[in-house]
Chains A and B, each alone.
Chain A
Amino acid sequence: MDEILDILANNARITIDEVAKLTGKKVEEIKKTITKYEKDGVIVKYKTVINHDLVRDSNSFVRALIEVSVTPQKDVGFDNVAERIYSFPEVTSCYLVSGAYDLLLVVEGENIQTVSNFVASKLAPMENVRSTATHFLLKKYKEDGQILKKKSDGKRLNISY
């Protein structure tokens, strides 16, 4: 991956100035490259990884992985039915996968009830959806390469040769 992307992927809040210092490149050059990435859709958006377990209102947030088997359509395959599904705001991620089912969704809601309602009233009844299997997430250990457990303090000595 490009060095600038790698830095931003780890810290979206870093300033252009700092990126320039870390890469040894000129500020103008960094600015231009980032703008181009944004325009081309390489950089889609800047996000924050949140450990919802530690947020006070975590009781009003649930996440589920849903396996969906669908019947593909002539010419367009899975794309149309995928679009109909991922257009729901409840669906935060949608992947076409190989294996025992076709689409893997990440669905978020305020509680189990809202997610269940979404599955029962929106997703399962859709014309091309053959079956669904819902897995509610119980605990997050690692997300986007980040281990969510607070790291213990370093074990290195403060000084050594």
Chain B
Amino acid sequence: MDIKISKKVEQLAPSGIRAFFDLVLGMKDVISLGVGEPDFVTPWNIREKAIHSLEEGFTSYTSNKGMPELRKQIATFLKNRYGLEYDFDEEILITVGVSEGLDLVMRAILNPGDKVMVQEPVYVSYGPVVELAGGKVILLKTDIKNGFKLTPQQIEQGCKQGAKAFMINYPCNPTGASYKRSELEAIAKIIKKYNVLVISDEIYDELTYDFDHVPFSSLPGMKERVIYFNGFSKAYAMTGFRIGYACGPQKVIAAMTKIHQYTMLCASITGQIAASEALKNGSRSMLEMKREYDRRRKYIVGALNQIGLDCHNPEGAFYVFPSIKKTGQTSIAFAQGLLQKEKVALVPGVAFGKNCDQHIRISYASSYDNLKEAILRIKKYIKA
């Protein structure tokens, strides 16, 4: 039978690096700097709580929005951590990771042809969730010269093109870039002037190293127009549990909940119980992991610059996005060559935007010994 796939799906940017990914997954004894998740396992107290909940028979659905206890905990946590006030019942939704949340919000707010500002380089799902919801992407390019940060002027340009919403991810995957309060305030001013919605993905907030993280919705006048996304994957090394949450104006959360109840029903109860334990007793492990990442960050930035790959100093997350311009290779050729000759895996920059072909993403969520060995191998590869 000649099956016809939806045009919208067929038109989604094909993942040019799929073949490269398949190559990596088929190889053994690789040092991997290509992983978008912590190299720690979930802290034991959290795993133990999940195991116990299974023994106790917590295996059912939960309320669509997520367990009320967890939503209450999140509300309290955000209040204490950032002074954010969200009503647990009307303004918080538990999702299957932030990824689901981003899809939901796009479907909830976009009509066909609505425009959304998206930064580049950007996490791989941003463009596709806009397009799948019928929206159009306005690309805002950032580069290494300004530390991969968006400027208020760029955002104003996007607003003038009629954008309905602005997506921001900070600290950013793949660049690690983040924003200080003053930088965010300058952006917020433009947002207010043009009456734009903000989709703020702050999943890496706890991994901010050089200054305190400031949620976009905590800025004056922003709460009514920001949908704040966060989750447990990165800070608590819980990627496999798939628990995220969205907080925002009641109207948007209600619309997102409507889609979520039909398409996802609810996030897994085991994951939600584990997340609740993470909020109760996870901060110690989280701070230990953060300290370790910060050391590796300092090491990797210094080492990359030393071997001749220009690398900016990222303020957060666990990625660096160095330039490979000097090698004259495309990012896929570079990554493929490095993998085959030196058995080091990383992600070609082009995965994060078509204008990012002179970069590679290195994840330093890998042990110090691995990083050291990988740097030696990259150095050898560049010299050859």
Residues of A within 8 A of B (CB): 3, 6-7, 18, 21-24, 154, 156-161
Contacts and interface: CB of A to CB of B under 8 A. Distances in A.
Contact of A24 (B39, B123, B298, B303): B298
B203 interface: no
A112 to B, nearest CB: 34
Contacts, number: 52
Q: How large is the interface on B (under 10, 10 to 19, 20 to 34, 35 or more residues)?
A: 20 to 34
B345 interface: yes
5 contacts: A156-B35, A157-B25, A158-B345, A161-B347, A161-B351
A9 to B, nearest CB: 13
A154 B34 CA distance: 14
B30 interface: yes
A144 to B, nearest CB: 16
Contact of A161 (B123, B296, B303, B345): B123
A105 B250 CA distance: 62
Given A23-B298, A24-B298, A160 B36 contact: yes
Nearest to A25: B298
Contact of A159 (B34, B125, B298): B34
Give me the 7 closest cross-chain CB pairs, A-B, nearest first: A159-B34, A22-B295, A24-B298, A158-B32, A159-B24, A161-B36, A160-B36
Contacts of B21: 159
A22 B368 contact: yes
Interface in B1-43: 21, 24-25, 27, 30, 32, 34-37, 39
Interface in B279-332: 291, 295-296, 298-299, 302-303
B173 interface: yes
A2 to B, nearest CB: 12
Given A6-B291, A24-B298, 17 more contacts: A21-B299, A21-B302, A21-B303, A22-B296, A22-B299, A23-B295, A23-B298, A154-B39, A157-B35, A158-B25, A158-B27, A159-B25, A159-B35, A160-B36, A161-B123, A161-B125, A161-B173
A161 B363 CA distance: 10
Interface in B199-240: none
B382 interface: no
Contacts of A154: 39
Interface in B338-384: 345, 347, 351, 368
Contact of A160 (B30, B34, B368): B34
A23 B294 CA distance: 8
A29 to B, nearest CB: 14
B345 A159 contact: yes
Interface in B124-181: 124-125, 173
A6 B32 CA distance: 26
A21 B299 CA distance: 5
A129 to B, nearest CB: 39
Given A21-B303, A22-B368, A160 B298 contact: no
B342 to A, nearest CB: 14
Contacts of B173: 161
Most buried by B among A6, A154, A158: A158
Contacts of A156: 32, 35, 37, 39
A6 B161 CA distance: 52
A22 B34 contact: no
Given A22-B299, A23-B295, A158 B123 contact: no
A22 B367 CA distance: 12
Nearest to B372: A18
Contacts of B368: 22
A75 to B, nearest CB: 41
Contacts of A23: 295, 298
A21 B303 CA distance: 8
Contacts of A7: 295
Contacts of B34: 158-160
B347 A159 contact: yes
A158 B26 CA distance: 9
B379 to A, nearest CB: 15
Given A21-B303, A22-B368, A158 B298 contact: no
B359 to A, nearest CB: 15
